[in-house]
Structure 1
Amino acid sequence: MTIPDHAAGNMVECERVAIDAAGRLVVPGRFRKALGIQGPQHLVIGLEGDTLRLSTTDGVIRRYQDLARRRKRTPGSVVDAFIAERRREAAEE
């Protein structure tokens, strides 16, 4: 089924699942397939209001890398820029 996600302004695919007595839930096969989940692996879970959000670790890493790239203001390596700044400061002392 598809429901509206008013916060994001789009439609979200969803499916009803059960949680067993031990607190486990089964991620439906169509969602595992869409995310490339094969066999046992770790996921990242987050709480957003009354919503649980499951993400693959690779997906979370990609989102943070994209965020870092968008926020990067200087060309080249951030590490190299940091080291050069420290060397300039040391030379001024």
Structure 2
Amino acid sequence: MTLQVNITPNGRMSLPADIRKRLGLEGGGAVLLEETADGVVLRTVDQTVAKAQAIAKRYAGHPDASIEAFLAARRGDSGE
């Protein structure tokens, strides 16, 4: 889906209500902006975390590459 969104002279833009609703941003929230060679990508924090976890899992070499598993391993390594 491609939509035109206008940017005000002070740099503000508004996401359409139906998109905010689908993304869980009805009450406001944060999005992350990524500049790519093809343009700009906006992602919610949850989408970005999921993407990072998928990348980490791919490179971790084992099926449980969650943050919780990492922290538990670090606690175990430190003797906590």
TM-score by length of 1: 0.62
- Name the counterpart of 1:25: 13
Secondary structure of the residue aligned to 1:67 is helix
- Asked which structure has the greater RCO (Cα within 8 Å, sep 6+), the reply is 2
Instruction: Specify every segment of 5 or more residues in structure 2 that has no aligned partner in the other structure, as ranges.
Output: none
- Name the counterpart of 1:4: none
Q: What is the alpha-carbon distance in structure 2 between the residues aligned to residue 19 and residue 70 of structure 1?
A: 37
- Name the counterpart of 1:42: 30
How many pairs were matched up? Answer: 72
C-alpha RMSD of matched pairs (Å)? 2.5
What are the within-5 Å matches in structure 2 for residues 40-79 of structure 1? Answer: 40-74=28-62, 77-78=69-70
Percent identity of the aligned residues?
A: 25
- Name the counterpart of 1:90: none
TM-score by length of 2: 0.70
Residues 1:83 and 2:49 are matched in the alignment: no
CA, structure 1 residues 18+54, in 2 after alignment: closer, same or farther (shift >3 Å)? same
Return the offset for 1:78. 4.8
Instruction: Specify every segment of 5 or more residues in structure 1 that has no aligned partner in the other structure, as ranges.
Output: 1-12, 85-93
